[in-house]
Chains A and B, each alone.
Chain A
Amino acid sequence: GQQLNQSPQSMFIQEGEDVSMNCTSSSIFNTWLWYKQDPGEGPVLLIALYKAGELTSNGRLTAQFGITRKDSFLNISASIPSDVGIYFCAGHSNNDMRFGAGTRLTVKP
């Protein structure tokens, strides 16, 4: 089936630094989504991208839908301690949503 490769697996950064993570796939998706998951909770949607090339911002978060429809990235600017968590990319096509393995973000105050 479709497989999403998300990188990096983990990041340790200082508060205030910018963060970038990305997701690639061998298959085309119609929609790319980015979720954040806190320990013991379900994923929460951060950003959804619906068109190839689309660049969308949500506060300090910026995400882009790759032109080839096979990749997406998420940037977080000026990180703060509450950004800690696991970030998942997800690709959606044909009633099917697949998730990457996640990027675990640690922010040191």
Chain B
Amino acid sequence: EAEVAQSPRYKITEKSQAVAFWCDPISGHATLYWYRQILGQGPELLVQFQDESVVDDSQLPKDRFSAERLKGVDSTLKIQPAELGDSAMYLCASSLGAGANYGYTFGSGTRLTVV
């Protein structure tokens, strides 16, 4: 079964350092999402791509977070500098299209701990 690949699975970084996460969506999925999930809460959307274009980044803290999907396939989410409050699970999801009827498939996530 096709999967959304994310790496690394776990990342520990010191505050003020830079950190990056990578996501490879299911082949052919045009829409890619990055979500942040704080422990004990549901996922919250950070950024949505349609192919290589950003569709929604209204919840992305742009002073320190950036995301790109240069060729419309895999994507990178970066945090610089990391802060203690950034500790969370970062989930990537992909779908064929932007509507809910296409279904979202989530990756296993990257668990970030900032110390």
Within 8 A of B (CB), among A12-59: 30-31, 33, 40-45, 48, 50
Known A-B contacts A50-B101, A95-B55, A95-B98; A44 and B42 likewise in contact (beta carbons under 8 Å):
no
Quick one: which of A6, A95, A99, A101 has the most chain B CB within 10 A? A95
Within 8 A of B (CB), among A65-109: 88, 90, 92, 95-102
Measured in the bound complex, the distance between the Cα atoms of B41 and A100 in whole Å is 8
Whether A95 pairs with B48 at a CB distance below 8 angstroms is yes
Q: Please tell me the number of chain B residues within 8 Å of chain A, measured between CB atoms.
A: 24
Known A-B contacts A42-B93, A44-B106, A95-B56; A33 and B100 likewise in contact (beta carbons under 8 Å):
yes
Measured in the bound complex, the distance between the Cα atoms of B93 and A97 in whole Å is 12
Known A-B contacts A41-B109, A42-B91; A97 and B40 likewise in contact (beta carbons under 8 Å):
no
Whether A101 pairs with B42 at a CB distance below 8 angstroms is yes
Q: Please tell me the number of chain A residues within 8 Å of chain B, measured between CB atoms.
A: 24
Closest Cβ–Cβ distance, residue B97 to chain A (whole Å): 10
Known A-B contacts A48-B101, A50-B101, A95-B55; A43 and B44 likewise in contact (beta carbons under 8 Å):
no
Residue of B nearest to A91 (CB): B100
Whether B43 pairs with A99 at a CB distance below 8 angstroms is yes
Whether B104 pairs with A97 at a CB distance below 8 angstroms is yes
Chain A binding surface SS class: strand
B residues touching A (Cβ–Cβ < 8 Å)? Answer: 4, 40-45, 48, 55-56, 91, 93, 98-101, 103-109, 111
- Report 11 cross-chain contacts, Cβ distance below 8 Å, ordered by A residue: A40-B108, A42-B4, A42-B109, A44-B106, A45-B104, A50-B100, A92-B100, A95-B99, A98-B42, A99-B44, A102-B40
